[in-house]
Amino acid sequence: MAELRRDPIVGRWIIVDTDHPSQPKDYEYDPHTWKGGACPFCYGNEGMTPPEIDAIREPNTAVNTSGWLNRVVPNKFPALQIEGSLERKGIGIYDMSNGIGAHEVLIDSPYHNKDIPDLLNEEVERMIALYCRRSCDLMKDKRFKYIMLFKNFGAAAGASLEHPHSQIIALPMVPKNVMEEIHGADEYFDYRERCIFCDILRQETQEKERIIMENKYFLSFFPFVSRFPFELWILPKNHAPHFCFMPKEEIPFLASILKDTIGSLRKLFPNMPYNFIIHTSPANGETAAHEGYHWHIEFMPKLTRVAGFEWGTGFYIVPTSPELATKFIREVQN
C-alpha cells in the first residue's frame, strides 16, 4: 500500500509509491546536451554580454575583458528592472506595482562544458563566495525584501543557455512559497522553542536512513517528505537564517558537499537536468528576523513532470521513496 506523508513545515502531503517503486533505470528524462557554438558566457566573449556587475579576476585584468574566474552580468532579458520606484496601487480588488527588482546572471566558471561536479573544489568555493557577495550587496537596497538565488541546469530545467550559470533575482516582496515555509518554521519555534530544521538534522543524523554525505558543517540527505524522486537537501549544521552571512570558514565545506553530492547523483542519472534553490530569510525588515528559520539548499533532478493531479491537489506522487533513493546512491558511492 502507498504511504501518505505530511511535511511538518508547510503541512503539504505527498504520496510515496511503496508497492511498485521505480528504479533509476525506469526514469526517462531529457538529458542535458552540449551543443557548442557561439556562447556569450564563454571566456573571450565578454563583449557579448551586458557590462559586468562584479567578478573574481586574475590580478591586473580589466573589467569586461578576459582574466575572470567568475563573472556576474545583468540578465539580458530581466524579469524585473532595477531602475525606478515601486509605486504600489490598487485597481479595484487587485494590487499592482511597477516591476522593480534586480535580475543577474552568475557565470559559474569560464568552462563551457563543466558543471559543478567537474570543477575543482576551489572553483566551486569561488562560485559560492560570489553568491554570498552579490546577495549581501543586493540586500543593501531597501526596496528589496527577498533575494532568490537559483540554478537551472539543462533545457528541461529551464536553462536557455547551456553554459553552466546561476541566477539571482531580488524581489520587492516576499514570495508566497517562502512565507509558507517561514510561517511553518515560526509556528514550530513558538510552540517548541526549537528550530524545526535543527530538529530535522538531529533526526536524520540519528536515523541515518536518508543521509547522502556529511562533513564538519553540512549534511546532505533525501528528505522524508520529498516532493520529487531523488530530491535532496543540504543543511548547515549551525543554525543560521541568512545564507549570505555564512562564515568564510564554512564555504569550502559547502563547496565540497555540493560538488560531491551532485556528482554522486549524476552517476545514477548521467547528464540529468536539475534545479537548485537557496532558501534563505527575507531582507530589510518586513518579516526579516526569524529565530526559527534555517537557510538551506533544495536540489531537484528533473526526472518526472508535474501533471494534473499535482496541480489540482497540491499533493505530489513520488515513485521512489527517499529511503530507497538512499540505497541506490550508496551503491554508486561504494
| 42-62 confidence digits (pLDDT tens) | 999 999 999 999 999 999 999
Say whether pLDDT at 88 is over 90. Answer: no
Second CATH level (architecture) for the domain 49-81+96-333: 2-Layer Sandwich (3.30)
According to the model, what pLDDT value does residue 289 have?
58
Least confident piece of the model among 64-78, 101-115, 284-298, 313-327: 284-298
Selection from 314, 327, 295, 284 nearest residue 139 by Cα: 284
Provide the 3-class DSSP secondary structure of residue 311: helix
- Which amino acid, 175? P
Residues, the chain: 334
The pLDDT of residue 90 is above 90: no
- DSSP codes of every residue in 199-238: HHHHHHHHH-SSEEEE-SSEEEE--TT-SSTT-EEEEESS
Question: Is pLDDT above 60 for 75?
Answer: yes
What is the Cα–Cα distance from 326 to 312, expressed in whole angstroms? 29
Residue 169 makes CB contacts below 8 A (sequence gap 6+) with 79, 80, 101, 102, 103, 104, 147, 148, 150
Q: Which residues contact 234 (CB under 8 A, 6 or more apart)?
A: 218, 219, 220, 254, 257, 258, 261, 296, 297, 299
| Residue ranges covered by each domain of the chain | 49-81+96-333
**Helix, strand, or coil (residue 288):** coil
d(Cα 216, Cα 209) in Å, to the nearest integer? 19
Mean pLDDT, rounded, of the chain: 93
Q: Residue range 137-149: average pLDDT?
A: 94
Q: What's the confidence (pLDDT) of residue 89?
A: 85
Please check the confidence at residue 187 and state whether its pLDDT lies above 90.
yes
Q: Is the pLDDT of residue 138 over 60?
A: yes
SS3 139: helix
Q: Is residue 165 annotated as a catalytic residue, yes or no?
A: yes
How does residue 323 score in pLDDT terms, banded at 50, 70 and 90?
A: very high
The pTM assigned to this predicted structure is 0.93
Give 2-32 pLDDT, tens digit per residue. 999 999 999 999 999 998 999 999 999 998 8
Long-range Cβ contacts of 304-309 (<8 Å, 24+ apart): 304/27, 304/228, 304/229
Separation CA 175–CA 29 (nearest Å): 29
Q: Report, as an integer, the average pLDDT of 65-89.
A: 90
At 83, the pLDDT band (50, 70, 90 cuts) reads confident
Comparing CA positions, the residue from 287, 285, 79, 311 lying closest to residue 181 is 287
- The 10s digit of each residue's pLDDT in 241-290 is 999 999 999 999 999 999 999 999 999 999 999 999 999 999 876 544 57
Q: Which pLDDT does position 292 carry in this prediction? A: 85
pLDDT of residue 43: 93
Average pLDDT over residues 216-239: 97
DSSP state letter for 98: -
- Identify the active-site residue in 103, 165, 279, 294: 165
